[in-house]
Structure 1
């Protein structure tokens, strides 16, 4: 720290000297430096006075900016000294804190031994309670108002003679959320297996119903009887899936391949369903023989 102070003092002296120089004096000093630089002989290098003047003038501006600073900004020397002093303060503070931590254990052991001897010297339990209130009590206790039910209305009963009252204090922050209760993983293997069997039975019944409308590997929309909505949706899904492709071929959910046969002479048909009837081209879905 003394070394930094000496550097700072020297920088202050240089700053004072630079601030006392007038523009005429600075101009004279720079011209003499230029003349001196120009008088030095050089080998294989040709320089002009203008080049030397620009170089020396640039160095002078750098020196002024370092010690005096520019308009609206402090000097670079001052910034370096401030940063150095801040680093030294931090190192000193950390060293003090480490020293306090090393000595805190011994000091606390002595304090605990002193408190234990004070409790040992208490004659009665009431005296120990009073000492405990002084040692472990708080300066500003929290008083809670509310409809607190007591077992007795006596004003002479002490806090040690009545059961404790429990209060849940919630933090007054918006981000507070109550902790969710952790529960173990419940084994639902039987329920899953039962649900899987029911879904398989349902899919099997639907597949049998769909297969009942396929005659000779052909599903002709013109010859279909009145069907349910989910059957109609399945047939139309098959139809649209194949029509979207260039070769007009597709595959069902159970892996059967089929292609679309377009109606002749743009023939149309009426598809009857339990929820209504609509008109459509008389397409035919032809399944490949397995």
Structure 2
């Protein structure tokens, strides 16, 4: 994505929102915006003044102050002045240059944004609509498979529908999940009233997951099978349609339009399909939705357990009391108590694990365990014995020779894979787990370097060669299974860098 100078400039049109007299500027601009929304393009200063004077905050506001504020808003390009000549009755009136004012496009969009921000409040909204996937699938299929039969206007409408459905899906789903993860909703989930809404929330999220699973694979297939030349042709036709629309002033070039369409399409494709180095946002959305379902279920289960814990056990205890009342003597009552409540005044010791795994074995059949009790004083120290230091050089040398031999064998296996100075992963035979770990370790280290090459501990210079835009996958056969990865090649040589 390229940047231009406008991306780094200050937006002077928003200056009226953060000034000492913002309350006056915003009142003037908002009145002009309301008139614009009611198809009254031009606003006279007298109308603005009479409107503001009706408010208690503008009781001491003078017409001269209004003219100064209007001049400042014109300087910030929030209002555009038009000289009023129709009401001039004399040369003196004409020289006074009476103006009427019109909102600029920037001002209209800023006021619309402010109105939208005031309407959404402090909480997230959004929703999880399964129909959005079906609409995106239909629009994408029309764009990729049937665009040749469309006129330019029909193709443009299909593209606008696809963008609208995609932006609605992304915005509404992210807002709704953020709403469920907010602190206020989490507090509501911890109340007993949440149990009544648990099933409704779970069914709503599960239906969204089913819709996602039903359409996501079809959408991903369309993106993968779409021919790049055919899609580029559609971008050219969309640019031609935009160039046909008469516009005054500076207009974008054909290449700029095509680049905008291509970038928007790549954003949608990466969202559904992902890239070579990260998973798709669709998979992230699926994971977050499933985690939310599990979290809701956990909250509901915890509330149910708490409700069960505080339930009155009066009837249960009365039933047990009848058992105790029917006992013949104190011994029988004690035996019943030990069965129901366990033995009282029991001391527990931690000992070694029992040798027998038979759950039916009696405790009398278990061998006794010895527990060493040490004095609980700070001055107690265990007795130590002096042990002579043994010479382990022979054992160390033997371990070193074994390691070097194993390393030489491993290096020989790697050298055998090099053909014409390169290891082509697609052409490799079945390899061992150790060799696979080494090759993938080289790949990971090369991808972390800007030059794409590294030097191994054995002196090899390894350079990774691959096309990140290629979607084709290869299979690396290993002793412990098959590994799917992009088509890659490792250039290997000893000595200086490539």
TM-score by length of 1: 0.43
- Select the structure that is richer in helix: 2
**Highest RCO, 1 vs 2 (Cα 8 Å, sep ≥ 6):** 1
TM-score by length of 2: 0.26
